[in-house]
Amino acid sequence: MTPVRFTARDGLPLHAFLTLPVGVRREGLPLVLVVHGGPWAHDTWGYDPEAQFLADRGYAVLHVNFRGSTGYGKRHITAAVGELAGAMHDDLVDAVRWAVAEGVADPDRIGIYGGSYGGYAALVGVTVTPDLFAAAVDYVGISDLANFMRTLPEFARPHLTTNWYRYVGDPADPEQEADMLARSPITMVDRIRTPLLVAQGANDARVVQAESDNIVTSLRRRGVPVEYLVAQDEGHGFANPENQFRLYRAIEHHFAQHLGGDRL
């Protein structure tokens, strides 16, 4: 895992971590862009089992601390206010373009994967920029920002004032709700043509199953390739080992089929 840096299109400095497979040339590799959740969190240097899992299968792996990520100061985090599916996504696109310009990534074999907010980012990736990604994995991701906020459990609501309400909006305000829907993948689902893997816990109290059901139902109605894993005994993320193995085997197969990495 190597720290790298580049500049977003509006001049904001961005930091990222690039993991490369061992024993292969550092050029023209299939790349998986892994987007962290939160979004008020950040990726750090160190051992990352998902990065190692993907690199072992022949992928370059890129983690990006896009605007809104914590740990880089006030300017970096507040640059994300009102920018879901906007400049926050542009940062991810700029990261992919950096990897392609560096010669590391094959532009025709780019995948995106993330959980929670990262799952939302994956869905934004295949709706806002449908030609950029050759494969995507949405893991317990948000598809409808307004529904997501309405269905959050009561105990979580007091903590939303300075983050979701400030950065995204209040679904009780019709004007703000309209903006939230415009930034929601579910309202752009007709643009999806990228092969998609969706994973969801049936007992998820933070991102309810309807967030995934709505995307999958719409894609299947249109005949767009989508694989759907629902774990009946999981919540917001898979904790049971048997479900984790099931998830990562599906990810392995999905990326091997559509990006051309190795599959053991």
Three-class SS state of 146: helix
Pick the catalytic residue: 204, 212, 254, 258? 204
The torsion angles phi and psi of 18, rounded to 5 degrees, stand at -110, 125
Q: In angstroms, rounded to a whole number, what is the distance separating the alpha carbons of residues 23 and 39?
A: 34
| Residue type present at position 250 | A
- Establish whether 236 is a catalytic residue: yes
- Inter-residue contact 253 to 263 (CB < 8 Å): yes
Per the annotation, the verdict on 56 as an active-site residue is: no
Residue of 240, 219, 218 lying closest to 231 (CA atoms): 240
- CB–CB of 20/97 below 8 Å? no
Residue 258 annotated in active site: no
Asked whether 129 and 41 are in contact (CB, 8 A), the reply is: no
Cβ atoms of 199 and 137 within 8 Å: the answer is yes
Please confirm whether the linkage preceding 39 is cis (ω < 30° from 0): yes
Q: Which DSSP letter does residue 237 get?
A: B
The catalytic residue among 56, 170, 213, 236 is: 236
Contact call for residues 45 and 72 (beta carbons, < 8 A):
no
Q: Which residue among the candidates 116, 143, 184, 212 is catalytic per the annotation?
A: 116
Give the catalytic positions in this structure. 116, 204, 236
